[in-house]
Copies of this chain bind each other. A is one copy, B any other.
């Protein structure tokens, strides 16, 4: 897409909310990436809250365990589309999703 999708974000090396300009990302891009991170974290949190394994969750989503793992890992092959559909499938409501989208800060891990 845009030229190169910018480095693969250096494995796990990154810190909360600021892959940003460090890599020369435009505002829109970093907003977009951070949104993805928030959503994938929320997804994992919700899955755990429901005490589901990835396998069980995959069944709910009608997908596979590996997809679920990738969703939670924020894998580049996971789109916001999939994240949102998955959250809905776990029962997240529009207003909850709205709060997730809005919150600029990523929640602390549990």
Give residues in A with beta carbon < 8 Å to B. 2, 27-28, 31-32, 35, 62, 79-81, 84-85, 88-89, 94-95, 97-104
Contacts and interface: CB of A to CB of B under 8 A. Distances in A.
Given A32-B84, A81-B81, 5 more contacts: A94-B101, A94-B102, A95-B102, A95-B104, A101-B101
Q: Is the interface of A mostly helix, strand, loop or mixed?
A: helix
A86 to B, nearest CB: 9
Q: Which of A27, A31, A35, A100 has the most CB of B within 10 A?
A: A31
B94 A35 contact: yes
29 contacts: A27-B88, A28-B85, A28-B88, A28-B89, A31-B88, A31-B94, A32-B84, A32-B88, A35-B84, A35-B94, A79-B81, A80-B80, A80-B81, A80-B84, A81-B81, A94-B101, A94-B103, A94-B104, A95-B104, A97-B101, A97-B102, A98-B98, A98-B100, A98-B101, A98-B102, A99-B102, A101-B101, A101-B102, A102-B102
